[in-house]
Amino acid sequence: MNKVVKGTIAAASAVALFGGGAGSLAYWQATANTDGLLLQMGHVEMYRTGAAGYAFNDESVSADTLEGGTWLVPGDVVTYSQSYQIDVRGTDAVLRVPELDFTGTPDYVLEAIETTLEVIPNGAYSQFSATNEARAFNVTGYGSFTVRITIEVPEELEDDEPMVDPINLTELQLTLTQVAEPLPDAVG
């Protein structure tokens, strides 16, 4: 090996040892740890409780009776009731109930009937309050509520058309969603 190459290697080694070359200097080190955490996620749960209730003119009936052998005339009232249990762990859940859906029911039939949809809390909750959004409720805690749907053929119904077409109420899909913040409460 020639003297120039040997000199260059020696000079580079001296720079690495004394000049702070990478990985060649010793250093001191200390460590510290954070605390571990086990965090529980909030959750929502909603399920139907008990059997649905059906009433025809304030008399309990079965769904089969209503669908198979009951012909509505002016003055008749049909009521459907179903209870739901909810469990909201954490805060800020919103229960949304869609509007009644009568897909497949002719307009002249819809114009002749009166309908109501009620959401009724059963017992105490941390919170169950109406919001400024239609059919939406801020809910926290554990409890139950009932959905009640009423379909009425008014007594004073005077319509030239014969009511030969049925009323078709489609099922509703209720939604319980945990959100970052509750909806604003209803005003008025």
Per residue, what are the HEC states of 119-153? Answer: EEEECCCCEEEEECCCCEEEEEEEEEEEEEEEEEC
CATH topology classification for 43-178: Immunoglobulin-like (2.60.40)
Averaged over 25-34, what is the pLDDT? 85
Cβ-in-10-Å burial (0-12, 13-18, 19+) of 171 comes to exposed
74 residue type, one letter: P
107 residue type, one letter: D
Q: What is the pLDDT of residue 9?
A: 57
Residues 6+ apart with CB under 8 A from 28: none
Integer angstrom CA distances of residue 117 from 4, 43, 97, 120, 123: 97, 27, 9, 10, 19
Residue 77 has pLDDT above 90, yes or no: yes
pLDDT tens per residue, range 130-181: 999 999 999 988 889 999 999 999 888 776 666 778 899 999 999 999 998 9
CA distance 49 to 122: 12
| DSSP state letter for 99 | P
Q: Are strands 59-61 and 43-56 parallel, antiparallel or unpaired?
A: antiparallel
Q: What is the pLDDT of residue 8?
A: 57
* Short-list 163, 142, 145, 143, CA closest to 154: 163
* Short-list 187, 180, 166, CA closest to 68: 166
Q: What is the pLDDT of residue 18?
A: 52
Tell me the three-class secondary structure of 42-70, residue by residue.
CEEEEEEEEEEEEEECCEEECHHHHHHHC
